[in-house]
A = this chain, B = another copy of it.
Amino acid sequence: MDIDAANREAARRILDSTPVLVGIARADEVIPKMRRNLILHAGPPITWDRMSGPLRGAVIGGLIYEGLAADERQAVAIAERGEVEFAPCHHYQTVSPMAGVTTASMPVYIIENKATGTRAFSNLNEGYGKVLRYGAFSEDVQARLRWLADVCAPIAGAALERSGGIDMKSMIAQQIQMGDEGHNRNKAGSAIFARVLAPRLARAGAKSHDLAAVLEYLAGNDLTVLNPVMAACKATMDAGHGVPGSTVVTCMARNGTDFGIRVSGLGERWFTAPAEIPVGLFFPGYSQEDANPDIGDSTITETAGIGAFAMAAAPAIVKFVGGTPKLALESTMEMYEITVTENPAFGIPQLDFRGTPTGIDIRKVVKTGILPRVNTGIAHRQAGIGQVGAGLVRPPMACFEQAVEAMASQVAAKTQT
């Protein structure tokens, strides 16, 4: 088995991907096998008893939103009795930030990879503060979710469908030239997204008040584009998955308890280990002790070669996650040592338009001891509170060591037969 050739093939499929945002629909209308009593969550599989505070909070919020529970107490009882199913978003072609809770009647972005014809999905970004993805579930959180589903999604979905979609590869390329790394900083991308959508929204035939409210939603949130960017990365990395013998990481995701990775040539298996606690900058009134372990599917951005991997392009992010512009540059340079290729579509101006380091090789991680870098939001460790800061983290080395062992066993088995 020629691992290098397999990795070249995986890299080719990743670089050839052309993710396009084509629309918005109810999750159970577009995600295969999505159903009402199924709660999707971020990261690798996990049971209720092992879930961290913010994931439990988001599950409670999701059960209430779906009408499966009337309040927190009922929701906890349903979860404890096993009356609801849990599954990773990743098992359903979906990625959602932080807790990642996505339920049947929530709206999701639809991304199509035009190179493969496959799809990926992500929920809509709620904005800042007390939000479901950070484990808050109060009535204002519910009201915002209902507005997203009932008002925002139909208008934005109609606008997207009529326009033929938004090329997310071009979007990310522009972001990299405008100081975004596509994970924790999506300010330029969200501005471009709002600007491109605005005239299409105006032609979607919505009521004037609703149109203005949707435009206000787009104007007031610098993270709007994170969710379609994540789904674009998911569609891209799914294309690179399943190449026999490839040691390229196609998924990194955290559920707030475990960090899990999947590898192109190692099937659907997750390699997991306890998630680290991010170190970062905290909002007034909060500190490092409030931080939950690493959580969210948003590491799909680093997996696809942006986020912390493209930090050289986003020096201003250090004001949000900590560090210096020099660290931003070093972060990207270090990631070239553990990746198999560079993405020429995402040229970093600060590095003379060198492509972002793309395709983490589990062998290089174990050999060099260099772990992938991750930029991330930080959730409060208790349910119901929300975001407390943003910072930097790395996955546990054990994930990569297990994966290398699994690949070695697979190679050995093939050699014997």
Contacts and interface: CB of A to CB of B under 8 A. Distances in A.
A177 B199 CA distance: 26
Given A316-B349, A349-B315, A215 B198 contact: yes
A252 interface: no
A196 interface: yes
Interface string A176-217: 011100000001101110111011011100001001110110
Contacts of A218: 195, 198-199
A322 interface: no
Contact of A219 (B188, B196, B219, B315): B196
A2 interface: no
Interface residues of A, number: 36
A49 interface: no
A174 B191 CA distance: 12
A316 B188 CA distance: 14
Contacts of A196: 219
A318 B195 CA distance: 24
A317 to B, nearest CB: 9
A191 B202 contact: no
A289 interface: no
A140 to B, nearest CB: 20
A315 to B, nearest CB: 4
Contacts of A316: 177-178, 349
Interface of A: 174, 177-179, 187-188, 190-192, 194-196, 198-199, 201-203, 208, 211-213, 215-216, 218-219, 315-316, 318, 324-326, 349-353
